[in-house]
Structures are given as structure tokens and as C-alpha cells.
Amino acid sequence: MERKSYPTDLTDMEWEILAPLIPPAKEGGHPPTTDMGEICNSIYYHLKTGCQWNMLPGDFPPRSTVYSYYRKWQGQGVWEKFNHTLGGQVRSELGKSTQPTALAADSQSVNTDQKKGMCMVLTDVKR
């Protein structure tokens, strides 16, 4: 039986891009029996809807399996690889460099050790 399609599901093209970034299974262990594309679809559903892990629809893989992969990939930096890769693809399609060349930050976004309202300026002062 085929599962229901969700708006958060990866397209075939997205999966083609992301599949090589998924770490291989450990050697010598039990071979994986869960479709990694379905794991990704489950995680994206969770992230987009904000549902609790135990509220994932029943047609996804078991929530304990999905959560286990989510945490493992989080520690391995897989999500950052996904974001950089897909972000680069989008920028490339827009005719831009795959890496941004500028950064904007405001005082609300930057943590400092200074008291509220004070700004630290670094200069090269000769005495």
C-alpha cells in the first residue's frame, strides 16, 4: 500500500541532490530496512508542521526510528550540509554565486558582552 502524499515530501530532484549527503550505515551492522527518503520526508513533516514526534502520521516510519535518525544526523552536521547544498542550488538557479558575498547584522541579532546601548569599537591606536 502506498502512503499518502504530503506537501512537505521531497521531490525526486531534491532527493537526488540530498541522497548522497546521507551518511552510510555502519559497516558490519544490520543493514538498514527503512527507506532514507521516507525518514527525510517524516522529519520535514515534523519540522514544517511543528507536530510532536508522537503525533507523526501513522503512514510514516516508526517515530522512534525517525527521531533517532534526526538526532544522529543533527550531531553529524547532516542538516547543515542539506541547507548549504539546497541553498547553493537555489542561488545557482537564480544566477547568483552559490555562496553569499555579504552579511548583514543588526544590534538586535549580535550578542555582546557590553551593557545595553554601548558599542565596542576596535581600532589600532598608537600612543
pLDDT in tens, 68-113: 999 999 999 998 888 888 877 777 777 877 677 677 776 665 566 6
With a CB cutoff of 8 Å and minimum separation 6, the contacts of 68 are none
* Per-residue pLDDT tens digits for 30-68: 888 899 999 999 999 999 999 999 999 999 999 999 999
pTM for this entry: 0.69
Number of domains within the chain:
1
Domain presence at residue 38: no
CB 19 within 8 A of CB 40: no
Domain presence at residue 70: yes
Q: Which residue range is the domain that position 72 belongs to?
A: 59-98
For the chain, report the end-to-end CA distance as a whole number of angstroms: 79
Instruction: Give the CA diameter of the chain.
Output: 79
Domain presence at residue 104: no
